[in-house]
Structure 1
Amino acid sequence: MLLPFHRQQLLRITLVPLTLLLASVAIAQSAPSVIGTRAVLTTWSDPIEALGTLSADESVTLSATVTEIVADINFRDGEQVEEGQLLIRLEDGEEQAQLRASQALREERRNASNRASQLQERNLAARADVEDSQSRLRQADADIQAIEAQLANYQIKAPFSGRVGFRNISIGALVTPGMELVTLDKLDVMQLDFSVPEMYLGRLTPGLTLNTTTAAYFDEVFSGEIATLGTRIDPITRSVSVRAELDNADGRLRPGMLMEVTIQQRVRDTIVIPEAAIEPSGDRHFVMLIKQSDETTRLAQQEVEIGERRQGDVEIVEGLAAGDLVVFHGLQLARDGLAVRLIGIADDETDIRALLEADR
């Protein structure tokens, strides 16, 4: 049955909005799902990483220079000692007797010199006799100084303030020249020696700060600064030696520790996004900006200039601003101008798998 012309026109007018509505619903249902992430402004640097070994600021192994028996030990294992403190005394009875004899001889010669001087003043003695007596007195003084220098070898003192290690001797033990008796380390400041490739030489300067970690204190970071750069490049490894200093006032660091070194250089504030949001094309790089409005969410391709990459993140030198929303998951179907459904924004607390399962 044919409808009147005016009823056909009314039916067409009614069906057009309905068709548009159904089409928009179909488009919304067919729009691909994406997960976005925001460009963030963060502090960024180009770290140089290396492995180094700690050594004490001052370190020495004390030993004897004479063969003698240990008479006294005046320290305990691991004790903090002061500069000049007597640590070990060796038997020196014979030398002490020689010192007393020389001191008595010096006193005798001093008296003789004084008497000769008095007689010479009264013209009862020749000038030559006075000079001879004074010469013999000076000889006695020199002999005493030589014995006192020898006695110093029988007293082993701390050459600087520090912490002693384990003692390897006991009272009554016979020691010989060169025999290791005890170690002494100055631990308030530690030296850290490590090597870096020569390509970084131009970036290193004394005073540059660094951070170090060690397995002994895995959750702590120890700070220090570069003290000295090596004067030569190793021709085999093509690396330069670096020495840094670390404060160790609490004494927890020990010589010989292996340290992981990170030197922070070119510290700056920059835009960073996840590396997965980058679409490379030859030597160019793009991201898909997510443009949101009240009616739809669409994509816009944006070229960016990238900088350094690190642990899944990439530095954006140009092309994005802090807060810009870009596609993080779903780039395979993303096209410039395409309408999409934003099902979530990725951050440190986002479970990507949960977002995808919820969208099924």
Structure 2
Amino acid sequence: MNPTALPPSPSPAKHFSGAAMDRALQPARPRLPWLVAAGAGLAALLAVLMWWRPHQLQTLTTPQLAAVRQGVFRDELALRGRIEPLRSVQLDAPEAGRVEAVLAHDGEQVKEGTPLYRLHSPEQEQLLMQRGAEVAQQMANVSVQRSAQAASLAQNRRELAQLLAAQQQAEADYQRQAQLADAGFVSAAALEQAERQKRLAAQLVSQAERDQRAEAETRQQSLDEMARAVQGLQRGLDLLARSRDRLLQTAPISGQLSGFQLQLGASVKPGDRLGRIDDPAGGVQLVADVDEFYLPRLRPGLSATTPHGDLTLAQTLPQVQGGKVRVLLRWDEAGHARQLHAGQAVDLRLQLDRPTPALLLPDGPGVQTTLYVRQGRELLRRQVQLGRRAAGQVEVIAGLQAGDEVLISQPPSEAERFALP
């Protein structure tokens, strides 16, 4: 082998086409037309839904409709009042105590001064005895002071009499000494001594009179103060005695006893409402409660009508209680109320203003400035202008005309329109 000889060249590679491994496939169907059709259908469905949804209306199952009509607006209030007597007296307990006797009964006709009931008060009896003892003690003290004053005055009179006698004796001695001194039988010193005794006696008498007057004035002032104290105690005792007399309550006026429900043994205190006496001869009046909203429009002289005749507003009580004010109405003619009794209820209409022609709509919760007006089988929302409300009627100013049907019940929502069933 020749080492220099080149290795034999490799044989040329064969070309493989892969035809033996391939197989025929079905041609792919085109997908684009199907997708386009599905998208178009979905878009059409969405378009239908978008068109149908805003046109789908809520149907009112039980709508309450009312027609607007031309009529007369009566500015009046429908009220319910009660009959009260014009003249009555409330029976309040003047004293505290326990009911010892009931001498009258509810509904009876009583005359003025008729005994109604009697109370018993042990505390008042004890207080009366205590005050009586105090008055007696003070009167005894006044008597003692008057006796002491009398004794003092007697003693002062005796002392003054003795001093006056001593003064007279001193003056007599001085006169004798002066005569003897003039005759030369008594010295000048003896005469001076007699004169000093006379001046001293006169001074003692004058001083005693002043002291006795001051003592008498002081004693009299003390007695006057004690007398005033006794008078005050006596007045208190008289008041207690009269309060004991008030334990027997009598009728203050003649009339019918009403609301009198006292029971034996019941305890009462001052101010307890025990009943009242109505004077049927004084007539009756009608008392009604009005909403405070109408307070500025209430004035004396307004007219009201009832099945028992016409009335006139006599007085408005301005105190507001529970959102209501109280009005007092009286019949124009007393004969209309003769058959009415205190406590009876009466329907009335209070006229606030004169009747006027107007478009009227029955009042309801749906009657507001925005309401729903019927058009065919639908209710459309509309802005209107309303006026006064009274007696279940609303005055229409603008936005409606006679014959329009309006939803007066409460709408379920604030939609622009509703469907009727």
- TM bucket (normalised to shorter chain) is 0.3 to 0.5
Normalising by structure 2, we get a TM-score of 0.38
Normalising by structure 1, we get a TM-score of 0.43
